[in-house]
C-alpha cells in the first residue's frame, strides 16, 4: 500500500473544512421572522418556564406571594397554601446553622422532580389550589424575643387573610421552612388564632417537651428547640390527643436533682398530651402500623404536622444540628407521610435543616424538599374544616 502524499492529505483536509463551513453557513442563514402572534413577552415567559433555575428561587418555582402586606389582599393576590421561610436558629442547643435551612430546601427543590406520586395517585402541585412562596421572614439574628415577635407577626398576617379558593379552606394554610424547631411556636400561635386547638403530629428524634413542671411559661431564657412543645401546651395551643413518631434519642433531664430517670420524661410528656411511637416500632409493625396508630390517635381533630429532619439517620440527613444514629430512612419517612393523607391538617413545617453539615450531594436538603412536597399533598388531600 502506498503512503498518501502530503499533497493529497492537504487536499482531503481542505475538503473537510469546506464542507464544515458550508454547514455552518447554512446554520447561520437568516431565520424566518417569528409569528406575529407570538409576542416578545410570551417568548420570554416560555423561556422562564423552561428551567427551574431561572428567576426567583421559590420552592418548585411556584409564584412569589406578597404575603406580608397589611390588609385584605386583592383577589389576584390570594392563595391557599403559603410556603414561609423562618431563618432562625437562636435557640439551638447543638450545632447552629438552621437559619440557612429555608434557602437550602428551596435550592434542593430546583434539583428535584415533583409530579404524579405513583404511591398515592396524586400530584401535590396540580390539585387546583394556589400555592405561593412568601420568601423568608425578616428576623433579628441576635435578639431572641424580637425574632419571635416578628415571626409571630408574619404568621398572623399570612394566616388571617382570606384564601383564594374557599373550597379548600377559609384561610390560607402555612407550611413553614425552618429554622430550628422553636419556630414551630409561631406557627402554632397563628393556627390557634384561626383554627383553635390542634393535635400535633410530631415526627422527630427528640420529644421536644423538655421543661415540663418547672414553671417556664414565657421565660424565654429557658425556651428553646427542645422545650417548644411543652411551651405550646402551656399556652393552650395544643390538645391532649397529640403524638410523637420516630423517637429514639436518649432521655435525660437538665434538672437531675428532681428527675433522674426517663420515666419522669415520659410522665411529663404525657402531661403535655402526647403518645410516643419509638422509631424501632417500624421494624415490628411497618410503616402502615405507624400510620394506623397516628390516625387512631388524632382522629378527625384539626392537626398540625411538624417534621424534624433529624428523625432520619445521619446517613440520610447529616445536615442537621443534633444528629442521632439509628434513625429512619428517607423512604420510611416518606412512606409514613404518604399514609397521612386524609387527616384534617391545618398547618405544617419542616425544621432543623443545617446545610453547613450536609453531604456534598445535599442529601439532607433533597430529603427535606421531598418532605415539603409530601406535606403539601397531605394538606390538599382534603379541605380543612
CA dihedral for 298, 316, 370, 288, sign (positive or negative): negative
Q: How far apart are CA 188 and CA 72, in angstroms?
A: 22
Q: Which fold has domain 59-381?
A: 3.40.800
Q: How far apart are CA 290 and CA 335, in angstroms?
A: 10
If one compares 41 and 346, the residue with the highest pLDDT of the two is 346
Tens-place pLDDT, residues 217-262 = 444 457 889 889 999 999 999 999 999 999 998 875 444 444 444 5
Tens-place pLDDT, residues 68-78 = 877 766 667 89
Q: Map grid coordinates 430529603 to a residue.
A: 367
pLDDT at 36 over 60: no
Residue 127 pLDDT grade (very low, low, confident, very high; cuts 50, 70, 90): confident
Tens-place pLDDT, residues 148-201 = 999 999 999 999 999 999 888 999 999 999 999 999 999 999 999 999 999 999
* Residue-range domain boundaries for the chain: 59-381
Residues comprising the chain, all counted:
385
- Beta partners for 200? 304
Tens-place pLDDT, residues 37-71 = 556 666 555 555 556 667 788 999 999 998 987 77
Q: How far apart are CA 264 and CA 242, in angstroms?
A: 18
Amino acid at each position: 500500500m502506498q503512503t498518501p502524499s502530503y499533497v493529497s492529505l492537504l487536499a482531503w483536509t481542505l475538503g473537510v473544512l469546506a464542507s464544515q463551513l458550508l454547514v455552518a453557513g447554512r446554520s447561520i442563514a437568516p431565520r424566518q421572522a417569528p409569528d406575529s402572534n407570538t409576542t416578545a413577552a410570551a417568548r420570554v415567559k416560555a423561556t422562564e418556564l423552561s428551567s427551574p433555575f431561572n428567576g426567583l428561587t421559590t420552592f418548585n418555582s411556584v409564584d412569589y406571594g406578597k404575603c406580608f402586606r397589611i390588609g385584605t389582599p386583592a383577589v389576584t393576590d390570594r392563595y391557599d397554601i403559603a410556603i414561609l421561610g423562618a431563618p432562625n436558629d437562636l435557640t439551638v442547643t447543638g450545632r447552629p446553622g438552621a437559619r440557612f435551612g429555608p434557602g437550602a430546601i428551596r435550592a434542593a427543590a430546583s434539583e428535584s422532580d415533583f409530579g404524579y406520586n405513583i404511591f398515592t395517585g396524586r400530584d401535590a402541585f396540580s390539585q387546583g389550589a394556589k400555592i405561593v412562596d412568601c420568601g423568608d421572614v425578616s428576623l433579628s439574628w441576635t435578639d431572641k424575643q424580637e425574632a419571635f415577635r416578628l415571626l409571630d407577626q408574619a404568621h398572623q398576617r399570612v394566616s388571617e387573610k382570606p384564601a383564594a379558593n374557599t373550597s379548600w379552606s377559609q384561610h390560607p394554610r402555612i407550611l413553614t421552612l425552618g429554622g430550628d424547631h422553636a419556630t414551630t411556636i409561631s406557627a402554632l400561635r397563628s393556627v390557634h388564632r384561626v383554627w383553635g386547638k390542634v393535635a400535633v403530629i410530631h415526627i422527630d428524634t427528640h420529644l421536644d417537651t423538655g421543661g415540663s413542671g418547672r414553671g417556664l411559661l414565657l421565660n424565654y431564657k429557658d425556651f428553646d428547640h427542645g422545650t417548644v412543645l411543652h411551651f405550646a401546651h402551656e399556652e393552650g395551643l395544643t390538645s391532649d390527643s397529640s403524638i410523637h413518631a420516630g423517637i429514639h434519642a436518649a432521655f435525660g433531664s437538665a434538672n437531675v436533682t428532681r428527675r433522674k430517670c426517663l420515666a419522669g420524661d415520659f410522665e411529663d410528656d404525657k402531661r403535655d398530651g402526647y403518645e410516643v411511637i419509638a422509631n424501632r416500632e417500624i421494624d415490628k409493625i411497618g410503616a402502615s402500623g405507624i400510620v394506623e396508630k397516628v390516625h387512631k390517635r388524632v382522629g378527625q381533630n384539626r392537626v398540625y404536622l411538624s417534621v424534624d429532619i433529624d428523625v432520619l439517620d445521619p446517613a440520610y440527613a447529616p445536615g442537621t444540628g443534633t444528629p442521632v444514629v439509628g434513625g429512619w430512612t428517607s423512604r420510611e419517612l416518606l412512606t409514613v407521610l404518604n399514609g397521612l393523607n386524609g387527616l384534617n391538617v391545618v398547618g405544617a413545617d419542616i425544621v432543623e435543616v443545617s446545610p453547613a453539615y450536609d453531604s456534598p450531594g445535599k442529601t439532607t436538603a433533597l430529603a427535606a424538599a421531598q418532605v415539603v412536597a409530601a406535606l403539601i399533598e397531605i394538606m390538599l388531600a382534603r379541605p380543612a374544616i
